[in-house]
A and B are shown apart, each in its own frame.
Chain A
Amino acid sequence: MTNKPRSRSILRRVRSSPYLFILPALIGLLVLVLYPFAFNIFITFTNMNVYHIRACANIFANVTQSNQQHCYALDSGVQNNLFYNFGFVFTDPAFVQILENSVIWTFTNVFPTVGLGLVLAFVLNSKVKGKTIYRMFMIVPWAMPSFITLLVWKGMYNYQFGIINSLLNEIGIPAVNWLNGSCFNAFVAIVIANIWLGYPFMMIIFSGALQSIPQELYEAASIDGAVGFTRMRAVTIPLIKPTIVIALLLGSIWTFNNFNSAYLITGGGPGICTTIFITQAYNQAFSYFNFALAATYAFIAFIILFVPGFFWTRYTGLTRGGGS
């Protein structure tokens, strides 16, 4: 070991410190995520609405000299109770239903989406001709703006003119009132559409994971006697377990907070059949311009996701670091 001057080795240490590597990402996280998060928690205790926001923007743009307090929505004498919003949400008779809907929505979406993505990844990873072309077709749902494709789904579910009902008629099944009939029908309708949106991405993720398995392991397995499904069970799937874990976790989180499918096709109806937390938050925020209430719904949704998410992450060792 040469005798380097002290200062140089300290500089080296700093330059290759792991904290430096994650610093940009963490700063971005702090500023763009944690701050809004804190802000959000803050406004759940207020009654912030659109007027406050406009005032705020104006203040910062130096357009008006309004009261700064007005900007932080602390001006209203309407609520004496800090937890007014929470009370409102929890005493809402629709709350339980929305909770139920959200949970069922999540589970009925995540497993088929991940499963389908996994199957597709396996099939497209095996010896089959025309892989590239098939893949191109498979990512179409993901590549198109979901706004338009979901509107198309909505049209397909139309009771009188929709293509799905006319196809069912052709094979002798009576038309189903998808969107305005029973709760169950509406739910099935949006789940199917959402799975359609979701499996391409899962397929891509799992394809990547499968690619990273060295060919030699497959060869050793074929000599050891593991082929086909046995090999999948004993060798392949254990090796992509981390990917499956993260796919399930993030898939659940995204689905829970997935706004488009639940809103665009049924608008949350019939009644509140297909309303989930995020659509309710949206309603409050953009129909009633009550941002505080919207933030409250969002915060509750966050807690619902955070608690199981935390334990799931711990249990599966997802965040266990490397170290050299």
Chain B
Amino acid sequence: MTAHSSTAKSIRKLAASALKHAFLIVMALVSIYPVLWVISIAFTPGESLGIPNLFLGIFPIPSSFTLEHFTSILKLQVVVGSNFPVWVRNSTLITVSSVVGALLLTLPAGYAFSRRKFRGQEASMFSFLLPTMFPGVVTIIPQFLLFSTLGLVNSYFAVIIPYMVGSLSLSIFIMKSAFDSIPREIDEAAMIDGAGELRIFTRMLLPLTLPSIATVALWAFMGSWLDWALAHVMLESNSLWTLPLALYAFLQPNYTYYGSFSALALIMAIPVFVVFVVFQRYLVTGLTAGSVKG
């Protein structure tokens, strides 16, 4: 029985691995560096931008450490006079509805574009690209007028519906692509086994395209969670404020509350990470379905 000893090949493997890690570490540091400043500001007392100490000459560390910004936000003592739980509630409800709505719109559409042939197919797919060619800012005003007419302004619908539609452009292409990559035989085999179209869709196609569905959901989530412009126009009452609205409220024309702003920005980033971690599992499947047999 021979021992599997290391050879020149192992050394090469080690070098490749080291190179990968070096690259990833550099990218990770670059990715996170500006945010270190945000963190530093969030934990520094006062609302103006002070110059923090620099650890190793590059990493900002607050000169004095405080939790005052976090506590003031969470304890409802904010200068703009509204409350954190309300913002969280609004943002959460709006975002969840937008994501669900986006999925409800995107999945059937992606399926139709992939599995069916019909007239006007290419044209309608292309038309989903059109919204992106249009700067978002200028669509807001006519949307406002439209929703005013319908009396929907200052309600959840005023933002949920645009958010749902806003993410469509990319999402439909992602889903169409994903469905395309699943061979037709799977549909056909299921059909022969007696499954109806709906069952094929839900039991076969959806599970196999989970990474793409997760991407679409993440995309819709981000579009809704961090949006300020549309929310600012559509939602007027304090009771409807979302987190981004509260966030930008710290940017008063005469004074910028950098400390509170940074703290709230960090708090808002936490759910993004949580969602990302949860979705990781779906984004990174191994797609071993079918490739491993007994």
Contacts and interface: CB of A to CB of B under 8 A. Distances in A.
> Within the complex, are A and B direct neighbours (CB within 8 Å)?
yes
Interface of A: 16, 18-22, 24-26, 28-29, 31-37, 39-40, 53, 56-57, 60-61, 120, 123-124, 126-128, 131-132, 134-145, 147-149, 152-153, 155-156, 161, 163, 166-167, 170, 196, 200, 204-205, 207-209, 211-212, 214-216, 242-243, 246, 249-250, 253-254, 257, 259, 277-278, 281-282, 285, 291, 294-295, 298, 301-302, 305-306, 309-310, 313, 318-324
A143 B38 CA distance: 13
B51 A161 contact: yes
A124 B21 CA distance: 10
A148 B211 CA distance: 30
Contacts of A253: 129, 132-133
Query: Chain B interface secondary structure, helix, strand, loop or mixed?
Result: helix
B195 interface: no
Contacts of B30: 196
Given A28-B165, A211-B284, A148 B177 contact: no
Interface string B241-274: 0001001100000000000011001001100110
Contacts of B144: 57
A140 B222 CA distance: 12
10 contacts: A18-B116, A32-B166, A152-B38, A167-B58, A211-B287, A281-B137, A291-B141, A309-B133, A321-B122, A324-B116
Contacts of B162: 32
Contact of A32 (B115, B143, B179): B143
Interface stretch (B65-73, B87-95, B167-175): B167-175
B284 A295 contact: no
Q: Which of A128, A139, A143 has the most CB of B within 10 A?
A: A143
Contacts of A60: 145, 148-149
A33 to B, nearest CB: 4
A36 B139 contact: yes
B113 A321 contact: yes
A26 B35 CA distance: 39
Given A36-B139, A216-B291, A295-B138, A143 B272 contact: yes
Interface string B79-113: 00000000000000000000000001110110111
Contacts of B244: 145
Given A33-B130, A212-B178, A298-B138, 10 more contacts: A32-B166, A56-B145, A124-B24, A134-B24, A208-B283, A211-B283, A246-B174, A306-B130, A321-B117, A324-B116
Nearest to B289: A214
Interface size class of B (residues with CB under 8 A): 35 or more
B124 A143 contact: no
Contacts of B105: 24-25, 28
Interface string B26-43: 011011101101100000
A147 B248 contact: yes
Nearest to A310: B126
B63 interface: no
Contacts of A147: 228, 248
Contacts of B21: 128
B32 A40 contact: no
A61 B11 CA distance: 74
A21 to B, nearest CB: 4
> Lowest 7 A-B CB distances belong to which pairs?
A323-B117, A137-B28, A36-B142, A21-B112, A28-B165, A21-B108, A39-B142
Given A33-B134, A322-B180, A148 B38 contact: yes
Contact of A321 (B24, B125, B143, B165): B125
A128 B20 contact: yes
A40 B130 CA distance: 14
Contacts of A24: 104-105, 108-109
Contacts of B135: 257, 259, 277-278, 281, 298, 301
A134 B49 CA distance: 30
A131 B286 CA distance: 14
B184 interface: yes
A148 B268 CA distance: 12
A40 B138 contact: yes
Contacts of A126: 20
A29 B127 contact: yes
A322 B37 CA distance: 49
A324 B211 contact: no
A212 B181 contact: yes
B23 interface: yes
Contact of B28 (A128, A138, A310): A138
Contacts of B277: 132, 136
A31 B285 CA distance: 37
B53 interface: no
A259 B229 CA distance: 12
A321 B177 contact: no
A318 B123 CA distance: 11
A259 B32 contact: no
Contacts of B197: 16
Contact of B142 (A40, A137, A306): A40
Contacts of A120: 27
A137 B23 contact: no
Nearest to A277: B135
B161 interface: yes
A259 B136 CA distance: 10
A318 to B, nearest CB: 7
